[in-house]
Amino acid sequence: MEAMRRIPDATVDRLPVYLRVLDDLTASRSTTVSSEQLADLAGMNAAKVRKDLSYLGSYGVRGVGYDVDYLRFEITSQLGLGQQSGVAIVGLGNLGRALANHAGLTVRGFPVTALLDTDARKVGTSVSGVTISHLDALSPDDGIAIGIITTPPGVAQDVADRLVAAGVRAILNFAPIVLTVPEHVALRSVDVTLELQVLSFYASHQGSGTAAAHGS
Amino acid sequence: MEAMRRIPDATVDRLPVYLRVLDDLTASRSTTVSSEQLADLAGMNAAKVRKDLSYLGSYGVRGVGYDVDYLRFEITSQLGLGQQSGVAIVGLGNLGRALANHAGLTVRGFPVTALLDTDARKVGTSVSGVTISHLDALSPDDGIAIGIITTPPGVAQDVADRLVAAGVRAILNFAPIVLTVPEHVALRSVDVTLELQVLSFYASHQGSGTAAAHGS
């Protein structure tokens, strides 16, 4: 890969948004896109788009723009989306089930290959064709790349530790608690209450403008 | 309020995290906290914590730290959490139901006061004691402050437009699509696939360190 410069975290956050827009452009048979168009479709400004894409070593051609296919290829490579990454969902409450039923995950390269819980009434039952296993059965042999934690907060750190021990390199945490993971494990947290509190800030400071989309 | 400087978006994103840590400290009867402790508990670095809190006009006392109660008060005020903000959830699929059942929302000041769908089989049934109404019944009289969109992407923009017309000032969007709202409406999007793609980046660039928590 050409771009070995460290890509800023904020840029990484936006790459999937660009990818989604580029997918839509491909579907509508567009072969080139200007930074202005891309910015408009992604809900950002054109200067930021150009800066972000420059970290990939991609510079649009003046008057022509970017090649849609090539840009998709570059972003897909950078995001490591070349191969499928098996996902385990731990905690099959309402949210866990909602995610297990989320057909879009497989389509986007994140097939849910394991469902884990500790509730004896749930173990052995299936969601979307995947049987729920006991958390104790989790093993490095499962080849899970990403773990999604949808457990109550009190057990989330223990679950994270077990996922790390099983070789998981990335964790998406929905439990409302700050988790600690080793340096080599990537961690993101989604907390609906935090999102609502941030929205509350902007709603109560009218005229402060629109909050950043996509949590970035 | 003292701090009339514009608080940067990234700082706003972190205020709810500080608030959660301060709530925990109060529960454990701590009355003061150093920036180092606060940073450690929030999973950030101390310099950033001090900078963030300085935007609130809060400066810790050297050797003592910050007063927990006063800091909670300041953050709560800034976030506009003084009064309850009624929440409407539009789209009662798996995710919508999971959120409607999320007891933590009411506790944190975001009671779910309306559930809306267009499916005749769902309208009239209840989730967590709230009856699902038809989306067409949405009106400014409902006094909804925040709308949560958990519909399929194809109808999400129409739902957003209706929420805005009903006077909603903030929208949390779970549909995988970029929405357009007027300047005065705050918008945040949570997209599980985007989160997984960002995690995939860090997991495939080992040694790049831990991704930022809380989507920031």
Q: Is residue A157 left, alpha or beta, with left meaning phi > 0 and alpha meaning psi from -120 to 50? A: alpha
Residues of B in contact with A163 (CB under 8 A): none
State the average pLDDT over residues A119-131: 96
Helix (H, G, I), strand (E, B) or coil at A27: helix
Evaluate whether A98 touches B94 at the Cβ level (below 8 Å).
Answer: yes
Using a CB–CB cutoff of 8 Å, tell me whether A20 touches chain B: yes
Instruction: Write down the pLDDT at residue B211.
Output: 46
Pick from B16, B105, B185: CB nearest A198: B16
Mean pLDDT of chain A: 88
A201 shares contact with chain B (CB less than 8 Å): yes
pLDDT at B5: 62
Cβ–Cβ below 8 Å for B105 and A15: no
Give the pLDDT confidence score for residue A61 in this predicted structure: 83
- Ordered DSSP codes for B114-166: EEEE--TTTTT-EETTEEEEEGGG--GGG---EEEE-S-HHHHHHHHHHHHHT
Query: Which positions 28-67 of A are in contact with B (Cβ < 8 Å)?
Result: 41-43
Q: Is the pLDDT of residue B213 over 80?
A: no
- Cross-strand pairs, A133: A116
CB contact under 8 A, B203 and A169: yes
Cβ(A115)–Cβ(A131) below 8 Å: yes
B42, B49 contact by CB (below 8 A): yes
Residue A215 pLDDT > 90: no
CA-nearest of A62, A49, A2, A61 to A22 is A49
Beta strands in chain A (DSSP E): 32-33, 66-67, 87-90, 112-117, 126-127, 130-134, 146-149, 170-173, 186-189
The band of A101, judged by pLDDT with boundaries at 50, 70 and 90, is: confident
What confidence tier does B4 reach under pLDDT thresholds 50, 70, 90?
Answer: low
Give buried/exposed letters for B190-215 (b at 16+ CB in 10 A, else e): bbbbbbbbbbbbbbbbeebebbbbbb
Q: Are B203 and A80 in contact (CB < 8 Å)?
A: yes
Q: Judged by CB atoms within 8 Å, which residues 126-185 of B form the interface with A?
A: 145-146, 169-172, 176, 178-181, 183-185
Tell me what ipTM this predicted complex has: 0.85
pLDDT digits (tens, 9 = 90+) for B52-85: 999 988 777 888 899 999 999 999 999 988 777 8
Q: Tell me how close the Cα of B202 comes to any Cα of chain A, in angstroms.
A: 6
* pLDDT tens profile B128-142: 999 999 999 999 988
User: d(Cα B163, Cα B140) in Å, to the nearest integer?
Assistant: 9
pLDDT by residue (tens digit) across B78-113?
998 877 788 999 999 888 998 998 877 887 889 999
